[in-house]
Amino acid sequence: MPVHKSENTFDHKSPELEHFLVEGLHCPSCIREIEGALQKNPIIKNARLNLTTQRLAVEWSGDSPDAIANSNEVIGTLKDLGFKGYLFKDDPSAAEDDKEGRWLLICMGIAGFAMMNIMLLSVSDWAGTDMGDNTRSFFHWISALIALPASAIAGLPFYKSAWGALKARSLNMDVPISLAVILSLLMSIMQSLNHGADTYYDAAVMLLFFLLIGRFLDRKMRNHARATAHNLMSYRPSTATVVNQDGETESRTIELLNTDMVVRVAPGERIPVDGVIILGTSEVDSSLVTGETIPVKSTIEDKVFAGTMNVSGALDIKVTALSGKTLLDEIIGLMETAEQGRAKYVRLADKAAQIYAPAVHLLALITFLGWMIFSTVGWEQSLITAIAVLIITCPCALGLAVPVVQIVASSRLFKNGILVKAPDGLERLAEIDTIAFDKTGTLTLGQPEIANGDNIEPATLALAASLAKTSTHPLCRALIVACHERDIPTIATTSPLHEEPGMGLKATIDDKEVRLGNRDWCHVSMDIQKNTRYSELWLKVEGKEAVFLAFQDRMRKDAAQVVAWFQNKGFDILLLSGDRPDVVADVANKLGIADYLGAAKPQDKIDRLEELKAEGKKILMVGDGLNDAPALSASYVSISPSTAADVSQNAADFIFQSQDLESIVRAWQVSHISRKLVFTNFALAAIYNVIAVPFAAAGFLTPLIAAIAMSSSSILVTGNALRLNLVKLFSSQDEK
């Protein structure tokens, strides 16, 4: 029987379908406005807009096959309505950071090339040789031909920033930089026109070159991963297999599903919606939502969530939440809210800029007025002296104080298997006083191991492994590992074997039925107390009592040492986990953690962190699952292992690649030392200004000498930062 599709649905794989990203959405009324306007267009058969993902799905009518013209018309309609739209595949946000970084690198290259050439022309003037006025003037004009276009291009990052600040009636560090460069060039042009002896083209270009180095280093630290929401959505399939009332199936886009529809999910597929199972039994890997790595048996009337994985049997699921209202969407919203809270953090360099920029302008103005009022040198020499003050106080050393330490610290951490993602992550990590650990995948490895293996006969383990070797179930894999660790041979059974999804395996061995699976599958008496502490398998040999196989999450080998090390340092430690409360309590007791919370949903974790933040705590969150991502964003600073879900890595400020938690200790030590070096760099920059500014204001320094002095201060700051490579890091096993 042919499949008849509803007029309100369309096939995601159809060539007549296109997806757009829409910027500027605020509320459901925006959706109604856009969908209403597009539905009036005869070339559009259907349109559906998702507020959370900002994706617009448009199906073209068969009468208008020109996809390019159609896309342009949709984008034009969005523009007329006050929204910005572009094709999903043309999303420019991914390349935006790289584009700006390449532009800074080009500007730095232009400034460096120009500086070297102008300095060569200036050597003859510095050497003190007899040079005629015409020759000197000729060299000056050649320098101008190099400096003016180079400064116009290389200085654009500073000019744009300064102009933006001035339009907003504020000052930033780029305002004095731009003034120094522009005034130096103007004075140099006047000197060239008047055949003066001194010009300052080399000073202006040198200033830009060194400042661009600092700007480029800082930009390198700002290259974050893609937007978190887009990565979150990768866990949801774009289509779902819908079961119609006549039993036929068809593929439909997630955006156009309705509640009470039934979708079918095959083994190995991600569940596309929140819903309730109405047919089938399977095991569902909910680790992205709960953090629990061991699949949970799910059957009729059990709830399942979008993004989780169907491990074994086929399921028919009744949709209970539409796209945009699922648990996955709720987590996206929690993350966006948490990120907005973190954005309130003000970096050290920004704090310094709030005071430094106005002070520089005031100092240069006082110098100019002082020379004009109390001397007879005239306005030109007074302006040159003020320019020297602007250059000598240009925040090159101050601008490098933070990024150069970050680069050195990031390199040191990288050698220890730790990746730094956030530009201000080191600053925040040095200020923490509380550490919140997730359990599964963080304090533990997220890998089940047998808990009672030493109490089971090797022959019994070998028999269980002979069945388990044919299965990909995590507990079966753990059983094989347990045998290998005990040097017990594992040979798959040659007897015919049957696997019942969500139940277990069975085979006939030596004329006896052998079963491996859950207690129902192995006919375990209900009189035996149900285990809640461990994940379990049962081995049942016909005519014998069933054997209980208990499994627990494998603890990281240094978890206890690391927790104890931080506790000895005076940090408050807490454990937040989505795992069962009794399991969480057991792990907390083993590690000596008094503050713990089990069965915690993403909102529960955020609520607990907010309580601590209200008490003035600065929290480091260590987690790895999708359910940890909002908490990672809500915390003061965050770390994830490299085995974490992509979304958690995206939300975290640091990623550690080692199997050991020792990486967290090293990250904190490096951040603590880095903070001291940053303050030392600020002190060096301040001392440099205290010494150099009076000389510049007194007229003893030309703009060129000021530029050289400014560059020397930058070298001093860089050298101080390199001391980080010489500092010894202690491990959690050291008494110190």
Active site residues: 438
Residues 6+ apart with CB under 8 A from 301: 276, 277, 278
Q: What is the DSSP letter of 376?
A: S
Q: What is the DSSP letter of 632?
A: H
CA dihedral 140, 142, 144, 149 (to 10 degrees): -170
Question: Rounded to an integer, what distance in angstroms lies between the CA atom of residue 261 and that of residue 273?
Answer: 11
Annotate 393-447 with DSSP letters as a single string: T-THHHHHHTHHHHHHHHHHHHHTTEEE--TTHHHHHTT--EEEE-IIIIIEEEE
Sign of CA dihedral 729, 732, 735, 736: positive
Which is nearest to 91 in space by CA: 128, 54, 44?
54
Element (H, E) at 481: helix 474-485
Contact 479, 461 (CB under 8 A): yes
Q: Tokens for 94?
A: 């991914």
Q: What is the CA angle 700-705-711, rounded to 5?
A: 135
Under DSSP, is residue 161 helix (H, G, I), strand (E, B) or coil? helix
Check if the beta carbon of residue 227 is closer than 8 Å to that of residue 169.
no
Whether 624 contacts 648, CB under 8 Å: yes
**Residues in Cβ contact with 8 at an 8 Å cutoff, skipping those fewer than 6 apart:** 46, 256
Task: Return d(Cα 683, Cα 401) in angstroms, integer.
Answer: 10
Q: And the tokens for 643?
A: 């085995």
Confirm if 305 and 327 have CB atoms less than 8 A apart. Answer: yes
Alpha carbon distance 51, 27 (integer Å): 7
Dist. CA 299–CA 6, nearest whole Å: 30
Terminal Cα-to-Cα distance of the chain (whole angstroms): 76
Q: Are β-strands 497-500 and 504-509 bridged in parallel, bridged antiparallel, or unpaired?
A: antiparallel
Interacting residues of 270 by C-beta distance below 8 A, sequence separation 6+? 235, 236, 237, 306, 307, 308, 309, 310
From the number of C-beta atoms within 10 Å of its C-beta (0-12, 13-18, 19+), residue 555 rates as middle
Query: What stretch of H or E contains 44?
Result: strand 44-50
In angstroms, the CA 507 to CA 467 distance is 8
SS (HEC) of 70-133: HHHHHHHHHHHCCCEEEEHHHCCHHHHHHHHHHHHHHHHHHHHHHHHHHHHHHHHHHCCCCCCH
Q: In angstroms, rounded to a whole number, what is the distance separating the alpha carbons of residues 60 and 583?
A: 53
